[in-house]
Amino acid sequence: MKKILLVVGLVVLLGAFVGCDMSMDESVLSRGLTESTTVEARKIGKSGAPVSFTATVNLYQQLGSVVTEHKGNSNHYKTVEETLQSFAYGPYGGTIKSDWPLLDGKNVIMNNVTNYNLDPVSGEISGSNHSVIQVVDEAMQVVAVLQANGTIDGSLLGAEIAMNWTLKEVNGKKVNARGKVGGLFTWAVFDYETMSLQYILPNGTFTLTGTYN
């Protein structure tokens, strides 16, 4: 009976994140860009050689945002809807910390679609994902839209997410920016007193690296 409850618990909880495909209309997102972003985009366009940068942010899962499909009688699942966000919530979230002004001090909304396999006994998980990432300012205006593709590998206690990303648009102006994003996403911690998993709000800290010009 305990094994059955554990399996059900893992599947329900896992439905809570795994996925990376923000199916959003980029043209709609672009219309929300602010005038200040236009100025930043012009500055970027005037730069010469590519400029390297880093950015870090903690993302947590928006409760109720996950829709997961179980693919037949197997350990294969697909998260067709899921949203991660960085708006401060207790110990979670917070604005982006970056040496690229376009990103620094902004928040993130990340929609995901993920194909993955989940072992109901060990909690091991692996798969591939696609993400559309919106960077928004204090007025909730979109200042940048990124697309990322990559893999997820690990367990519910911590899975490495590794993706390549490209910046699609900044207020309709093409900006040459690309790089990598990685982080450790966690759904549970191990309680040594009860010798069992204790589930937490799914979250992870991500680091974005790359260049822009």
pLDDT tens-place string over residues 1-43: 434 333 434 444 445 444 434 434 444 344 444 444 444 544 5
Position 165 pLDDT exceeds 50: yes
Q: What is the band of 174 on the pLDDT scale with cuts at 50, 70, 90?
A: confident
Whether pLDDT at 148 is above 50: yes
Among 133, 146, 152, CA closest to 79: 152
Question: For position 172, what pLDDT does the model report?
Answer: 67
Average pLDDT over residues 72-87: 95
- When the pLDDT of each residue in the chain is averaged and rounded to a whole number, the result is 84
For the chain, how long is the longest CA-to-CA vector? Answer: 64
Mean pLDDT of 165-191: 90
pLDDT tens-digit readout, 80-89:
999 999 999 9
Cα dihedral 158→181→136→204 (10° resolution)? 10
